[in-house]
Structure 1
Amino acid sequence: MKRRAPHSHTNRPARTARPAQATRAHDEATRALAEGGHAWSAGKIETAATAFAHAALLAPDMAQAHSNLGVALRKMGRVEAALASYRRALALTPDDPALHSNLGNALRALGRLAEAEEHLSRAVAARPEDQSFAYNLALVIRDRRRQSEARQRLAALCQANPANAEMIWDLALTDLYLKDYVRGFAGYEARWRLPRLQARDLPGERWQPGAATAGKRVLITAEQGFGDALQFARFLPLVARQSAELVVECQPELMELFAAIPGVARMVEKNAPLPAHDMWAPMMSLAWLLGVTWETLPAPRSYLTAPRKLASPLGRPPGTRLNVGLVWAGKTTPRDRSWPLEELLPLMEDPRVTWWSLQMGERAADLGTVGADRLVRNLAPRLRNFADTAAAMTELDMVVTIDSGPAHLAAALGRPTWILLRYVSDWRWLDEGDTCAWYPSVRLFRQPTPDDFTTPVTTMKAALDKVLAGIP
């Protein structure tokens, strides 16, 4: 299938321009620009970037070559280089609204939100009828924590574009930020119309609001990430009490942990054949189906338990007062929530605290890179799944983490959980405050600005000192 150029929301290359002068170099640049466009349409992004770069080198005065190169570099994840290309193009065509919009999107991705808003505002002012420019601006306004203003803009866009699932989805997320769970969770269902998610068509009745589940075997299906599943698992006992039998599908890493949830009759591994059922619903639809509001949100101190203990208890090293777990990195998409490990080293200055790394994956190697492997005990080799991690967390006095699956796990277990949040945080943590309505045992430490990784750690260190001072 032919690859379409991206919508301006995610940047798009401009069409090939006619040569401004009939020179050999300019003609070759024009051909390279056209070749890049064909490669882009075929999904060959690196080939397109090479062609656009060749055109820009041959004809430095060709704004479209620089602009298209910026789009390709952004797609490849080279956002800083994309900025340079966009700025080259703007030096040649300073009033191009599409360039301002693309530059604004790239700046937003880097957390440079004030600059992003400036360029996106210029794009909207130059072309107010362009809905994609208005959409991009609404998103950066939301990132800047002006949720009410963002909602007003997104609501107008959704009214003008009722079939646009992306806009409806972002309006729903904004409603959730604003604690309007009735509208927010209803709008959250628009996720199934997003091209990046594939809706499932299963046998049996798809559970809809108001439908009776009494006397029925209900299947709850897996979707999205570990953190989402752990957060919404709180609703499973409620569903079990309202139905005859509850079957839960989940990722393999969660199977043992979720099997211990009260009321779950049967577990099914994701992608395995599903058992017979009368009714089904995705996990992330449960708040909507159960009519949850901000005021009625169930937030028990804990709702998950470790199904077993560690084979070898952690113990407490002599002379220490606290065992603290640590997670500093997670997925980088759709937004990086990680924290530089070197910025966390000040937390490790007190010898009365024993630090245990719960970090999994490639970023566990950060311990050796920054020398923290001499300061932190590494639990990762003992953790095969979330049941293992839960067993370890029950022996820890506290968990320090970024927004991640382990953060949700520690909080769901009722463990004291201190979460470091980037400036643009997820809807469930809101934009202000140091507590979380979903998890009573959580304390939040927020960036005051997008590039400040020091202040939250300084605040956390002071809080940790107070905890230590209260221990005999």
Structure 2
Amino acid sequence: MNYNSQELANKDFEIPEHFSKAIHEYRVGNLEKVREILELILLKNPHYIEALKLKAMLAHRTNNLQEAIVEYKKVISITSNDAICYTGLGNIYQQQANFDEAISYYQKALLLANNCNIYFGLATCFTAQKNLDEAINYLTKGLKIEPDNPKLRCERGINLLKKGDYENGLPDFEYRLKLPDIINYHFLKDTMWDGSDLNGKEIVLHIGSRLSRAIQLIRYAPLVAQRGGNVIFACAKPLLRLFSNVSGITQLVDREITSANFEVNASLLSLPYLFGTTVSTIPVNVPYIFPCKPEEWTAWNIQSLLQAASDTRLKIGIVWKTGEYERSGSLCEKDCPLSYFINLLSIPYISLYSLQVGKLSSEIHEFKHESRLYDLTPQIKDFADTAALISQLDLVISVDTAVAHLAGAMGSPIWTLLAFDADWRWLQEREDSPWYPTMRLFRQRQYGDWESVFQQVIPALKQHLASYRG
């Protein structure tokens, strides 16, 4: 349906009728049409509340956050009993990491509406502030309204897992499989494995796009095989060579191009639940990933690549960005400015080697004048190459990304730098990881504070250097 100014501005213009048209266009995504209709409605009646509210929602949806804040507050100045506007403001301030302000608006919304989305917003803010008990409290309140709400159940599961309560957290975390945006590829829900004996059945294991999760959880493949399964893993291409010698896997297939024949399937993320994992029973068969043999390395000489100044005692691999940037187009809170890593070169007798891949690996060129800084990126074609390089390094220092998991899975020394609101697998406040015996964790003390992380790393590195036998 087409609209024009003459049609909408004539004397027979009926606001409710055309507002309904605006709502329809908003729902189907014709946002420019919505804007046009709203402008004309507000010419007729500048205080038409529903149009002002939709204008705020439109600004929010198109990521014009400051405009959205102004419009939401305009509605609130006219009527202070609109839960949608308070919720919208809560969502925006949460998006801007202004959690105290977000909580304030969510709580005002909650006085007007007993709504699951408000409980979820509150919980997300408290999670970001590491107030897990309060987050779980609000999620549980929301679940009294909708006991099987997958978003609330999954989020409560994540918070319980962060607290180390795997017994209650893992069943809740399974509700992620019911989220509307979950990617199941071509695997069928009616063939999902329940953990029972497989008796020789072919089972395909799969995972979403996060390579770090695949590296962390492929350790369960031998356990699946012990249940009698003929284990096929639908693998991301960068991991194919790396996983070729992982125990328990009968067949690797490229998940992008191959449809494997199977009788049952399971997400790797479901295996801790299916095996009844607790923090004390995490399989620690480390190392469970091994570098390929030297004769299988890509055609480059690792020793010559790692040839550094003669006074180098520690060869340290570094990774400062996650792959999430390339998926989302925006920086991730796990990402750390490279300059902090470069500052480590103030410590004598160490050399830094970039293991960073992807678009942001070129950042290293800004510091090409630095001695004892080397870029290995051009040599890395897949994770098998990364593993080969890690095997020749003395230490890896990385943000929370796949390389950190890889070093941990290989049993190599790895220092992982964590954002304030760290992932569930790292638990809370610990400096060690039950998933990786050779990993040491360094945590932000407040949101976005990488300075405090490196205030911990630098003295630790000096101490490590002093005790290093190399």
**TM-score (normalizing by structure 2):** 0.83
Q: Distance in 1 between matches of 2:462 and 2:52?
A: 52
Alpha-carbon contact 1:228-1:284 (below 8 Å) kept: yes
Shift of residue 48, structure 1, vs aligned partner: 5.4
Alignment partner of 1:312 out of 301, 324, 343: 301
Q: Distance in 1 between matches of 2:232 and 2:434?
A: 28
The correspondence of residues 245-264 of structure 1 with structure 2, limited to 5 A, is 245-264=230-249
Determine helix, strand or coil for the equivalent of 1:374. coil
Q: Distance in 2 between matches of 1:354 and 1:51?
A: 62
Q: Kindly tell me: are residues 218 and 35 of structure 1, through their superposed partners in 2, closer, same or farther at Cα, counting changes over 3 Å?
A: closer
Q: Distance in 2 between matches of 1:81 and 1:379?
A: 45
Determine helix, strand or coil for the equivalent of 2:397. strand
**Structure 1 unmatched ranges of 5 or more:** 1-22
Alignment partner of 2:264 out of 276, 279, 283: 279
Q: Kindly tell me: are residues 372 and 59 of structure 1, through their superposed partners in 2, closer, same or farther at Cα, counting changes over 3 Å?
A: farther
Q: Kindly tell me: are residues 30 and 433 of structure 1, through their superposed partners in 2, closer, same or farther at Cα, counting changes over 3 Å?
A: farther
Alignment partner of 1:220 out of 193, 196, 205: 205
Determine helix, strand or coil for the equivalent of 2:458. helix
Determine helix, strand or coil for the equivalent of 1:434. coil
Alignment partner of 2:386 out of 366, 378, 389: 389
Alpha-carbon contact 2:291-2:387 (below 8 Å) kept: yes
Alignment partner of 1:164 out of 149, 173, 179: 149
2:138 paired residue number: 153
Shift of residue 470, structure 1, vs aligned partner: 2.0
1:5 paired residue number: none
1:116 paired residue number: 102
Which residue identity lines up with residue 326 of structure 1 in the other structure?
I
Shift of residue 139, structure 1, vs aligned partner: 2.0
**Structure 2 unmatched ranges of 5 or more:** 1-8
Q: Kindly tell me: are residues 80 and 217 of structure 1, through their superposed partners in 2, closer, same or farther at Cα, counting changes over 3 Å?
A: same
Determine helix, strand or coil for the equivalent of 1:295. helix
**TM-score (normalizing by structure 1):** 0.83
Shift of residue 372, structure 1, vs aligned partner: 2.4
Alpha-carbon contact 1:28-1:58 (below 8 Å) kept: no
1:88-146 alpha-carbon deviations (Å, 9 max, x no partner)? 6556656643222222222222222222222222222x225233212211221222212
2:352 paired residue number: 355
2:411 paired residue number: 414
Which residue identity lines up with residue 220 of structure 2 in the other structure?
F
Q: Kindly tell me: are residues 387 and 153 of structure 1, through their superposed partners in 2, closer, same or farther at Cα, counting changes over 3 Å?
A: same
Alpha-carbon contact 2:56-2:71 (below 8 Å) kept: yes
1:184 paired residue number: 169
Which residue identity lines up with residue 207 of structure 1 in the other structure?
W
1:403 paired residue number: 400
State yes or no: 1:329 paired with 2:321.
Answer: yes
Alignment partner of 1:466 out of 457, 463, 468: 463
Give the count of matched residue pairs: 444
Identity among equivalent positions (%) equals 26
Alpha-carbon contact 2:215-2:402 (below 8 Å) kept: yes
Q: Kindly tell me: are residues 277 and 459 of structure 1, through their superposed partners in 2, closer, same or farther at Cα, counting changes over 3 Å?
A: same
Q: Distance in 1 between matches of 2:48 and 2:439?
A: 53
1:373 paired residue number: 368
> Which deviates more from structure 2 when the two are superposed, residues 176-185 or residues 389-398?
176-185
The correspondence of residues 446-465 of structure 1 with structure 2, limited to 5 A, is 446-465=443-462
State yes or no: 1:441 paired with 2:438.
Answer: yes
Which residue identity lines up with residue 374 of structure 1 in the other structure?
H
Shift of residue 195, structure 1, vs aligned partner: 1.1
Alpha-carbon contact 2:236-2:254 (below 8 Å) kept: yes
1:9 paired residue number: none
Which residue identity lines up with residue 429 of structure 2 in the other structure?
E
1:266 paired residue number: 251
Q: Distance in 2 between matches of 1:342 and 1:146?
A: 31
State yes or no: 1:105 paired with 2:91.
Answer: yes
